[in-house]
Amino acid sequence: MKRKLRTLALLLPGALLLTAQAVSAQSSSPPPATATRPAQDLPGQTSVTNNNPPATRTETTGQTTPDPKIREMNEDAKRKVEREGK
C-alpha cells in the first residue's frame, strides 16, 4: 500500500506540470512575425579584388634548395619506399 501511495505521490506532480504546460501553450499568443526578408537586389561583389595575375605552374614558391644532407636523406627515403612500399 505504501508503495502505491509513494508512486502516486511521485507521478502526480509531473502529470499536473504537463497539464499546466499544455494549457499555457494553447492560451498564449503566437510570437510576432519579425523575420527579415531577403533583399530584392542582391549586392555586388563585396570582397576586395587584387590586380595580380593568376598563378602559373612555372612560378616558384620561394623555397630554396635544401641542404645536401637533407637532400640525401630524402633520396634514401624515396628509395626505401620504392623497395619496401609504405
What pLDDT score does 75 carry?
A: 94
Sign (positive/negative) of CA torsion 14, 19, 23, 25? positive
What's the number of CA atoms in the CB half-sphere (13 Å) around residue 41? 3
Q: Is the pTM value of this prediction over 0.75?
A: no
Across the range 60-67, mean pLDDT stands at: 73
Sign (positive/negative) of CA torsion 44, 50, 51, 57? negative
Give the Cα separation of 45 and 49 in Å (integer). 9
pLDDT for 6-50, tens place per residue? 786 777 677 656 666 666 666 667 667 777 777 777 667 667 777
What pLDDT score does 82 carry?
A: 92
